[in-house]
Structure 1
């Protein structure tokens, strides 16, 4: 019997839409050749109230920090809300720290990397983010910032950690995570279904 991992996607006001919707689509579509879903994808916010994403999209999170189930993979999207608002919210950064300790893999998209940096989770690691925010990421101590790349896998013996560049790069990074966690065939099948060019 194939086990199903739970993917928890963090939401907050002014989150970039494709930052969370891209990974949502990738992990939701990944399945075995017999149709078994490899991932159950849920959304989590500090409060279980409507989230107002960038450019007016309203999203209702599945869970709050208070009632969420255990998750295996954490996805931290970016956007204005990450870099300007939640970066100053210790409730969110403390939650991220607690989840990273428990999860099998953490993926940040775009400026979601800044939340990881603020939480001290990128110290001593390599990472990337949206090209417009590379200098911002580099302002945090002891991070090797990688430019001109779609994603960076900074996993080590204690933590599986992947950061991606901006917006659509989160789809590419999510597919990479599917390959890392499942296998190459599943990743390729998912990419083909989405008509996403992984070359």
Structure 2
């Protein structure tokens, strides 16, 4: 099973690495990082490099597509090469997925129109503007499309898919191997739980 994980300048690293750490442990998984051209891609801070093994055209028919997000997705959203690759790859993929604002990239390519999907809570209104049924759920499955909310939810999305593909026992084994047992010191991981003043401070200006 070939798993194509899209990279681009300014990507949020955990959006890509969370699904990689879960899905790459599936039996027969063949993950490959793809970008406009092979080579080093810098994350949103510019301080971390991820390496794209292949160009988009080198991976035309992956079984599973992962589109990570970023604080600014205008680059990949405005890229004809990315849009064309996503549309063509999606035509034959078994699963098409995203993490965080990666769903905006899928939406720009026209792949989520009329579907239920999620994204980072900052961008739910933007996602809805594409004709998507935007929801704040952590992981949303609509047919073969699986979208995850903000950053860390990509791990949940990966485990959800691992269960669908390999079965519960395989997914549970992966969860145990990566010791994914969240016990955060704070309960402020969503706008519904975080203190109101912090939510107001971090909410984008209208």
TM-score, length of structure 1 as denominator length: 0.86
Where in structure 2 are the equivalents of 1:1-199 lying within 5 Å?
Answer: 5-30=1-26, 37-55=27-45, 56-68=47-59, 70-81=61-72, 83-141=73-131, 143-147=132-136, 149-155=137-143, 160-197=144-181
How far apart in 1 are the matches of 2:181 and 2:96? 23
Aligned length: 182
List gaps (5 residues or longer) in structure 1.
Answer: 31-36
The structure with the largest alpha-carbon Rg is 2
Shift of 1:184: 0.6
More moved, 69-78 vs 184-193? 69-78
Which residue is 2:187 aligned to?
none
Q: Is the 8 A contact 2:60 2:89 kept in 1?
A: no
Which residue is 1:33 aligned to?
none
List gaps (5 residues or longer) in structure 2.
Answer: 183-206
TM-score, length of structure 2 as denominator length: 0.84
**Cα RMSD between the aligned structures?**
1.6
Shift of 1:182: 1.3
Which residue is 2:203 aligned to?
none
Which residue is 1:34 aligned to?
none
- Structure 1 stretches of 4+ moved >6 Å: none
